[in-house]
Structure 1
Amino acid sequence: MGGWTQALADNLGGTEAGLKLILGQLAGYPILLLYRKLLSNKDPNLQHVYFTLTGLFLGYWVIGPCVTHGIYAIIFTYLLLVIAGGSFLSVVVSFVFHITYLLTGYWFTAGEDYDISWTMPQCVLCLRLIGLTVDVYDGFQQKLNKKSLTPEQEKNCLVEIPSIIEMLSHSFFIGGYFVGPQFSMKKFKSFATPDYHRTLPSSPSRFGFRRLLIGIAYLLGHVIGSQFYPEDWPDQLEFAATSYPAKLIGLMFWVKIILAKYVSIWLMAEGVCVVSGLSYVGKDEAGVPDWTGCRNVKLRRLETASQFGHYIEAFNINTNGWAAYYVYKRLKFLNNKLISQVATLVFLAIWHGWYIGYYLTFVNEFIVMKFESEFFKIWTQSSKVTKWRHHPSFQTLTSIFGWLYVHFFLAHCFLPFPLKTAHRILKAYGSLYFVHLIFYLGWPVWAVPLKQYLHYSRGPKAQGGGGDEKAKRRTSSKDDNQNQKNDIAAPAPTKQE
């Protein structure tokens, strides 16, 4: 550490680790443009060597010698697959090993303030290697019974154990190494072949650089906004001294400024995957190439969200897809959606680390999604709402009020995540009089007069009571299989995953 990067970070008012992360991610653009120009039509093994070496070099430059932790995890997984790949035991051992390794890393690197360390790419690698083990297991199950897998599992399963160079390449591919996104080994192996690139309908560079520019805009918004509302603002004396109305309004700006950091780095990483060609998922109904296979955020849905369900659908969607596919759906044998959702959220909370703030964020999310599920059941079955829908301003007004509702309570639900520790969280919540808990946990009380006012009935859903909205959500959710939500509440923002 030190040198020109430290001097530049000081001048910009940031940290050297953060600057190196951004520069390391940006380096992926020329690296993969060079790859497409010179190597995309070469032997797959040569391509895998290129991805491995470039990823290792940039990883070492960003996080130093600790890049070896990723190598250890990959070698362990490779040996596990060679010895027991395809067995249920291999899945259990892989899961326990990678989660334990990650949690141990969190324990030794933890601090009250967020810091970029080797655990950041390791949390991405943890999911990737667990997913790889499951895909091999599915492939071996398919050999035993061709009808045992779902179409989604057939798309991702591996009937052969990948080579060590393929695993290193898959893990250190610079488009997904630092902050994601997740993509299956089967998709990646197909990508690293000359045939794949010959079938691309056009150059992806324009779309990729557009995502980069949007990401830079979000980053600038975060940097400038943080001068007024820093990440630890709810823990500062200035926050405690601020009037209550100013706190509530200021938090609406604060949360957008903080989340812009995650959006920006995800967009930069997505752009790298797009430029490489990896994100191609075919053509849409109009015959236009679709480059959104590695998308981790839906910007239009995110910025116009009028329900928390919209926000969850649009934010960190790639990790949501991983959790839905590898955890939630694997718990189908429990025959209970609620238990599967809770188990998946607990897994994601553990994956984030030890801090109670992560767990409280997921508790908040569960409470909010439970509330919205019950509220919209009343709303869509209200005879009074059915009449309101015929008014020309209904959609506009409900969208405005919904947007205000989401962005008012978003900060309160997200607040534990950046503050992390119990004493900081309780101090901030105390100064806010726990307004979000009063609202959401008080729902059973104020739901009674609301039902009476809206003329709620338990009969069939009122005409027009949400069908259009669901259709819109299905349309806007058209993604690569790995980006599907699949009825699970989504995780909170990860440590740049």
Structure 2
Amino acid sequence: MTESEDYDITWTMPHCVLTLKLIALSFDMWDGAKMKKGKQLSATNQQTALLNTPNILELFGFVYFPACFLVGPIFSFKRYKSFVSDEFPIENESMSLENHAMKRLLQGLGYLTAFQIGVTVFNVKYMISDEFWETSIFYRHFYCGLWAHFALYKYISCWLLTEAACIRFGLSYNGTEKTENGTVSKWDGCNNIKLLRFESATKFQHYIESFNCNTNFFAAEYIYKRLKFLGNRHLSQFFTLFFLALWHGLRSGYYMTFFNEFIIIYMERELESLISKTQLYEKMWNSYLKGVLYVLLKMYTIVFMGWSLAPFDLKIFWKWWRVYYSLYFSGLLLFVPWAFVYKPLIIMAIKKYCKNKDKDSIKAE
């Protein structure tokens, strides 16, 4: 009854954010119970732990806070409690609130406009059409990447608009900071997107750090860190991403997208740890090649963000599989063989480079 060839609307979608908020609330109450027993908690968990159970009125107020109960950002019950208890300096800084809220509102409208323009130029339906096959392989990769970049603007615009509402309410208070003009209040407590980091990303870790920040914080604090008993950070990361995929739904596209994130981050971290130790890597970033390297890495992130996001948007197996087929499964060929093909070759190349470097230095002496 809800499926179509264009877009699926299911009754579970509006409950995504609600689910995370209630899971976080449950963990916070559990942490509070452990604190009462004298058990040690991390500094972050201590900040959100609840020593007292919310009453029914507080619970409904927290769940259905009007600014963001459908699309987020999520926030802790302690933040909500501080807000309704008048602990934030809202009345004293109404002008500052209005300025910060207006800035986010205008940014949100700007990204919403860019999204509307972008999706008219880059259309996901075109990528599963026969016409798409008639273009070159390079064109298909860049088209898919640029489509994904503009598709993400939909989420960014929503978060900016809801953050503007949260700021204007006064919910976003995040302490104070010292500036040249004295001590000022920060109103970024409900920030869900770091625009500069997102737009300048040169690796997928930058996307994770800048995109959907509150959900990533939830995943790190309430899932990933609580899987420490597994004794393996890769396993913890895998199950965290599996949880996020399951949270989105049962469509195969969700699981493929988060699997992509797992293999890409795994490769990036290991590759960076290998090449960052070499002098060649430092020389490239400190020479005229820096600009060239930045452009190449920017192209890499845009192209393979398209690869990663296509299943998430298309959801149904035959649709995203068709796109992957048109891209000749380039992402799988690049990221899956990393551990047993590319990594050993790079290690050999680095050892050979270092060995030749040592020989040259000995000759010079």
Distance 1:221 1:390 in 2: 34
Among 174, 196, 221, the alignment partner of 2:88 is 196
- Aligned partner of 1:311 in structure 2 is 207
> CA offsets, 1:316-353, max 9 Å, x none?
11100011111111112222211111111111110010
Alpha-carbon distance between aligned partners in 1 of 2:121 and 2:207, rounded to the nearest angstrom: 24
AA at the equivalent of 1:239: F
* Aligned counterparts of 1:413 and 1:190: Cα–Cα separation in 2: 39
1:399 aligned partner, one-letter code: Y
Q: Any idea what SS the aligned residue of 1:294 has?
A: coil
Distance 2:51 2:312 in 1: 40
Which stretch shows the higher mean deviation, 192-201 or 333-342?
192-201
Aligned pair count?
A: 350
Structure 1, residues 273-308: CA drift from partner, whole Å, max 9, x if none? Answer: 111111110122423322111111110000000111
- Specify the SS of the correspondent of 1:173: coil
Taking every aligned residue pair, what percent have the same amino acid on both sides?
38
Indicate how the Cα distance of structure 1 residues 325 and 358 shifts in structure 2: closer, same or farther if over 3 A, else same. Answer: same
Q: Is the 8 A contact 2:107 2:157 kept in 1?
A: yes
Alignment CA distance shift 1:241-1:457 (3 Å): closer
How has the CA–CA distance of structure 1 residues 194 and 353 changed in structure 2, closer, same or farther, with 3 Å as cutoff? same
Matched, 1:256 2:152: no
Aligned to 2:30: 137
Q: Identify which of 309, 320, 328 aligns with 2:216.
A: 320
SS class of match (1:295):
coil
* Mapped contact 2:284–2:290 kept (Cα < 8 A): no
Q: CA deviation at 1:133?
A: 1.3
1:288 partner SS: strand
Q: RMSD over aligned Cα, in angstroms? A: 2.3
Q: Highest relative contact order (Cα 8 Å, sep 6+), 1 or 2?
A: 1
What secondary structure sits across from 2:72 in the alignment? coil
The aligned residue for residue 226 of structure 1 is 119
Query: Cα distance, 1:200 vs. partner?
Result: 5.6
TM-score by length of 2: 0.89
2:164 — aligned with what?
Answer: 271
Q: Secondary structure at the match of 1:194?
A: coil
1:243 and 1:398, CA in 2 relative to 1: closer, same or farther beyond 3 A?
closer
The alignment status of 1:405 with 2:297, answered yes or no, reads no
Cα deviation 1:190-235 (Å, max 9, x = unaligned): 1012343468655312111211111111111111221222233322
Is residue 208–residue 270 contact of structure 1 (8 Å, CA) maintained in 2?
A: yes
Q: 1:441 deviation in Å?
A: 2.7
The equivalent residue for 1:180 is 72
Q: CA deviation at 1:383?
A: 3.0
Hey, what does 1:293 align to over in structure 2? 189
TM-aligned CA distance change 1:125 to 1:109, over 3 Å? farther
Following superposition, the deviation at residue 436 of structure 1 comes to 1.5
Instruction: Find the aligned partners of 2:212 and 2:10 in 1 and give their Cα distance.
Output: 21
Range with greater deviation from structure 2 (202-211 or 267-276) = 202-211
**In the alignment, which residue of structure 2 is the partner of 1:470?**
none
Superposition pairs of residues 109-188 of structure 1, within 5 angstroms: 109=2, 113-116=6-9, 118-145=11-38, 147-188=39-80
Q: Distance in 2 between matches of 1:354 and 1:307?
A: 28
Candidates 271, 279, 286, aligned match of 1:375 = 271
Structure-to-structure mapping, 1:410-429, within 5 angstroms: 410-429=305-324
Partner of 1:33: none
Pick from 433, 456, 471 the counterpart of residue 328 of structure 2.
433
Say if 2:90 and 2:97, in contact at 8 Å, map to a contact too: no
8 A Cα contact 2:223 2:240, kept in partner: yes
Structure 2: 5+ residue stretches without partners:
355-365
| Matched residue type, 1:171 | V
Moved more, 418-427 or 278-287: 278-287
